[in-house]
Chains A and B, each alone.
Chain A
Amino acid sequence: GAGVSQTPSNKVTEKGKYVELRCDPISGHTALYWYRQSLGQGPEFLIYFQGTGAADDSGLPNDRFFAVRPEGSVSTLKIQRTERGDSAMYLCASSLGRGLAGGDEQFFGPGTRLTVL
């Protein structure tokens, strides 16, 4: 497929556990974004990568959240010591690479639904 893919589609974990969420962007897109969306809310910006580097991580809520993109393609969002409040839909988006500056269109993946029991 040519779109953004995310795995797993659903993840159920216990409080205190570690989880990894994966995002495969559209081929050739250098910019990648992570968002978190709670029920009935709009997506909340977490972090934005330009290539391999995190260009802006100001949206990460605390140091339990971390994201990497080691080869400038696939990205992994990592959450340590999960809490019930982390339960949400985690969305990934990619764009051609002007980042957010040029009004670059972001293409979203289907999301990963995380449930922390």
Chain B
Amino acid sequence: KNQVEQSPQSLIILEGKNCTLQCNYTVSPFSNLRWYKQDTGRGPVSLTIMTFSENTKSNGRYTATLDADTKQSSLHITASQLSDSASYICVVSAIKASGGSYIPTFGRGTSLIVHP
């Protein structure tokens, strides 16, 4: 069964500090991996997407890495801001066994709280 595990479940940091969120997956065959930011009561917003051949992708203060061999990804947030407080969700898509559409598997997310 395709699974996406994220750690830590929650994280509290001080404004201005850096942090790294982890994502391990067992999704196969792998298509792509996305990191989403979900503010409370809102829908998720895509931060980065990586395919098999990419091992790093940046979007402003967010940098995602992917190791397709070990099936691990990380999201590094630099110089955190209060507005970074949100849930960060790792989503991995695989090719459906019977062909056709890719099925996304969502992690539970990491809840990040940035304190002033």
Contacts and interface: CB of A to CB of B under 8 A. Distances in A.
Q: How big is the A interface, by class?
A: 20 to 34
Interface in A29-69: 35, 40-45, 48, 50, 55-56, 58-59
Contacts, number: 64
Contact of B44 (A41, A58, A99, A108): A108
B77 interface: no
B106 A101 contact: no
Q: How big is the B interface, by class?
A: 20 to 34
Contacts of B51: 103
Contact of A42 (B32, B43, B96, B108): B108
A42 B106 contact: yes
A105 interface: yes
Nearest to A92: B43
B1 interface: no
A111 interface: yes
Interface in B70-115: 89, 91, 93, 96, 100-109
9 contacts: A42-B89, A43-B89, A45-B103, A100-B101, A101-B100, A105-B46, A109-B43, A110-B42, A111-B42
Interface of A: 4, 35, 40-45, 48, 50, 55-56, 58-59, 91, 93, 99-101, 103, 105-106, 108-111
